[in-house]
Structure 1
């Protein structure tokens, strides 16, 4: 309901009319026009009505479906920090190395500390930025409590890690990645679990479904992973490499790790070997999957990356998916042209006229002009050594500019 309709229903039309009259009376003051809405009755009235119709925070609030985190008391954290600072300051050798610029910092230890403290919270913010939770879980989200390390094997011993939405090409992701996480840890306390644990790993692409824009393409499904040993899990869907078509830009590959209460029977998601490349059989919805098993599953880990088209996908479409490779192009709208003017001021004559001509004819003329100055064996003429030193006389200004651009090798003539 608009603001004016709300005023009509509130019986406040007279007050607004009086406020508008007051604004009109004070629109000019001492010869100056007041810019913007001046403070007065109308503004306070509008604010008061909007405050009475705010959205209910309990309705629009997002739901945290992940594990909570048990933290130490503030005093215990402060005590550990002070003890660490005291030990660092009392280390004379550490001070000498720092002063002589010989102190070597263990970056692996820094990374472990970052992941243990604020790394997973930062991952949640990055995932929100990329719309991961919105497109997978709707209005829900979770803070990853179990660090998920995923890396693709490249040539030699080099690896391509999956890190907070980085770009990995389809050539690099052709084979199943290496998955590593601590499956013997309790996501709530961060301590070692006292019994066997079971996990489920799902990799999907929310941007890859061809026929249903709200569905996802299932790329990998491993259930009942015992104690974090991915190789011993139940593979329900074999790994399918990403296949972003040409022209669609970047797509997101998302890995979600769930912690199970116990072993689950997820045989209904089993994909037959004959349907490995059947994209319709790989239709998946993370939200529906979680709603159906939310009593037995809780999301605990997250990782994702971006990928776009490369040359290796042409053969992948023909050999694996058995379909013709799709190619998408953006259909740009035609530029808006105003009616022609008899005297187009401050516009080059030739450029203004070419806007209203057939673009193919213009391209043909430029190509013919370029071929006329190109020798069939020796190639084009050599450029002038000092292009601006040669005067241009007895030509109109628009043509003088065109000749100068051609000599300098700039302008649209270089596009042909």
Structure 2
């Protein structure tokens, strides 16, 4: 807060007043810049010196509901969400779902199955003993498969929104990734592709090994693109790999339309996003006019 001090001094001599004994008058004024008062601070309603008087939530559900209400409640201070929403041109716009139909399993059925599993685990003496002795090993492959079937597509969609994949590749559109791609670079599968991990151009110099689960008789098209790499146009992109008419999940049996082009990020341009996109075909497509010659 800006603060100034203005001093006005009035001096009159005795000869001016016509008297021999004169007094000196000194006046001082403080000028303050008025600003609007701050709003209520978080947790201001709680007495930090008497925490025992604070009402307990008594359950996680009550705490979660209260936290969601407070998160969506507008605040007088500036937030990171406000900056992000202001910078996003698609914020608040209605986007079109261009993906495959998503059939979510019955919630009631999931809850019943989960309760049965929890009941069986509580009655399993060997499992209790292994957990108590810290010798129990969680099967991560089973956890991964359950995650893919339940909340995996929603989590991957949020990651794609976070990295701006839909905004830059599919403006005003989105989809739920329902088919999981297993992508590994190198002979020893050391360069595994996840959802936003970092790989060097040396690790991605050769053609990766890709597999995915698909129905027999289905046809697919696989695309590898980069929205950050074009050297001349900001809105353009380079196609690094394009394979069409993939039968089932056999990528090596598909028709290679554009041969694999290794990443070549320019120096000083930071990290680049390389996105694998899998399209499902309704039937065989004639790509003879779209085949590109091999650059090697």
TM-score normalised by structure 1 residue count: 0.49
Equivalenced residue count is: 214
User: Are 1:212 and 2:240 counterparts?
Assistant: no
Q: How does 1:103-182 map to 2 (within 5 A)?
A: 103-153=136-186, 157-182=188-213
Determine if contact 2:102/2:176 at 8 Å carries over to the other structure: no
Deviations 1:209-260 (A, max 9, x none): 1222211101000000001111110000110100001111111111100111
Tell me the distance in 1 between the aligned counterparts of 2:115 and 2:228.
48
Q: Contact 1:204–1:220 (CA<8 Å) still a contact in 2? A: yes
Cα distance between partner residues in 2 of 1:76 and 1:252: 39
Which protein, 1 or 2, shows the higher relative CO under an 8 Å CA cutoff with sep ≥ 6?
Answer: 1
How many angstroms apart in 2 are the aligned matches of 1:34 and 1:167?
Answer: 48
Residue of structure 1 equivalent to 2:258: 237
- Equivalent residues of 2:183, 2:208 under 8 A apart: yes
Deviations 1:161-213 (A, max 9, x none): 111111100111110001010022xxxxxxxxxx5100000111111112222
Secondary structure of 1:109's aligned partner: helix
The Cα shift of 1:68 comes to 2.4
Unaligned runs of at least 5 residues, structure 1? 1-30, 39-56, 185-194, 277-319, 321-416
Q: Are 1:259 and 2:290 matched, yes or no?
A: no
Distance between the aligned counterparts of 1:204 and 1:218, measured in 2? 5
What RMSD over aligned residues (CA atoms) do the two structures have, in Å? 2.3
Q: 1:67 to 1:148 in 2, by over 3 A?
A: same
Deviations 1:349-402 (A, max 9, x none): xxxxxxxxxxxxxxxxxxxxxxxxxxxxxxxxxxxxxxxxxxxxxxxxxxxxxx
CA distance in 2, matches of 1:245, 1:32: 52
Structure 2 counterparts to residues 272-291 of structure 1, below 5 A:
272-273=293-294, 276=295
How far did 1:37 drift? 10
- Would the aligned equivalents of 2:97 and 2:173 in 1 still touch at CA under 8 Å? yes
Residue 120 of structure 2 is matched in structure 1 by 87
**Which aligned segments of 4 or more residues in structure 1 are displaced greater than 4 angstroms?**
31-34
* Offset at residue 118 of structure 1 (A): 1.8
What stretches of structure 2 of length at least 5 have no aligned partner? 1-31, 40-89
Q: Distance in 1 between matches of 2:107 and 2:184?
A: 36
Q: CA deviation at 1:121?
A: 1.6
